[in-house]
Amino acid sequence: MKILVLNCRIYSVEFELIEMPAEKVLAKGAVAKIGLKTGIINYDGVCGKRKRVEPIMDHHSAIHRIIEILHTEVLKDISQIKAVGHRVVHGGDVFYESVIIDSHVKEEIKRNIELAPLHNPYNLKGIEAIENLLPEVLQIAVFGTAFYRKMPARAHYYAIPKRLVQQYGIKRYGFHGISNQYCLFHTAKLLKKPANKLKVIICHLGYGASVTAIKNGIPQDTSMGFSPLGGVPMSTRSGNIDPEILIYLMHKGWSLNEISICLNRESGILGVSGISDDMREIIAESKKGNKNATLAIEIFCFSIQKYIGAYYAVLGGADAISFTAGIGVNSPFIRRKICGGLEAIGVSLDGAKNRRAVNREMKISGKNSKIAVFTVPRNEILLIARETAKLLNETAEE
């Protein structure tokens, strides 16, 4: 069966057409710069890689072009698409697993827009576009927050009055759940043990970054909280800061919008370095002697070390630490920097393996390391395809 997976963001739509259960990618690509006359379509299929520049004014137009390209390049008939799987960032308190999309699911996604204003509106646009373009096709929502719904209450809740939870839903939701599920599955595969028998710490280090502690397949805690702003410092996000800072800035006349822009878009690696939000550039500048770039790296790695140490204690040990996402799988330097501070819990890297592990799934820990260390390239789209195929099969059996 052929499944189309969509990841709709503010200004882009990523897509893959996958043959299941063989998990063969038939075509993939992305539409970028949505809303501009210079929209970009990158496509990789049977005829190789291609790039087009044309007006793409909204998400409906972007998905319409994706379907046109697939029909022209890969599919004899558009009816060959049996289901469409969507990455939906926030499922709130309702969705504990992937679901078939209906009017109720759409309403809940809409209701959670206030919790994920930069993600859910565009996830919903993708769903509505498919409804218009392929009205007969089954659609599946795979939620980034669902993985954390079984977290213990001690990790779910903040030490704030219960009325704030009841009135506004303020609690730790966690993010990067789809990525972590995929990483957990492949970590277990590399260890040749079932996931429900393992203690794993996953470091999802990309433009957004989080650390998650998992025991017997169930998250015990995660660094991101009510929003993707919390936890470790990221490319442009501050991560955790003293909440009194916000009150202080408001007393100084800062507006809520100014604070939001500062913490979400001007902080993190960019804010400390004053140079870039790209870790590759920061590392290059640090090697040239730029002290601000070096400090940005130190803060980033130190924060991750603290979470790993805390989660080691929470889990009562660890079988594995896995690095995933862009920085996690592509930067031997950052991995060495992080793991170099974890000797106290028995972590050591094999230097040669660590250097070779660039966008590769492999073990990088040294032979005397008490904890296995892995790199696992992220593949959220494949997990979404698996979830979609599973629900499609279950529907067919009913």
Write b or e for each residue in 100-131: b if 16 or more Cβ atoms lie within 10 A of its Cβ, otherwise e.
ebeeebbebbeebbebbeebbebbbbbbebbe
Catalytic residue among 9, 65, 119, 176: 176
Is 176 labeled as catalytic in the residue annotation? yes
3-state secondary structure of 324: strand
DSSP designation for 30: E
Cis bond upstream, residue 55 (ω within 30): no
**86 contacts 105 by C-beta, under 8 angstroms:** no
Q: For residue 246, with 0-12 CB atoms within 10 Å meaning exposed, 13-18 middle and 19 or more buried, which class applies?
A: middle
3-state secondary structure of 136: coil
One-letter amino acid for residue 217 of the chain: G
Is 14 labeled as catalytic in the residue annotation? no
Catalytic residue among 108, 285, 361, 380: 380
Is 292 labeled as catalytic in the residue annotation? no
- CA 164/CA 166 separation, integer angstroms: 5
- CA 293/CA 154 separation, integer angstroms: 36
Secondary structure (DSSP) of 49-66: EEEEEEEE-SHHHHHHHH
Farthest-apart Cα atoms in the chain, separation: 64
Catalytic residue among 9, 65, 149, 237: 237
256-265 and 244-251 helices, crossing angle to 10°: 130
3-state secondary structure of 148: helix
**347 contacts 321 by C-beta, under 8 angstroms:** yes
Catalytic residue among 59, 86, 87, 204: 87
Q: Within the chain, where are the H helices?
A: 59-73, 103-111, 120-133, 153-156, 162-168, 177-191, 244-251, 256-265, 268-273, 279-287, 291-315, 325-330, 332-339, 351-356, 380-397
Give the residue from 362, 367, 369 showing the smallest Cα distance to 342.
369
Is 87 labeled as catalytic in the residue annotation? yes
Is 131 labeled as catalytic in the residue annotation? no
- CA 398/CA 396 separation, integer angstroms: 6
Give me Rg for the CA atoms of the chain: 21
Active site members: 7, 87, 176, 237, 380
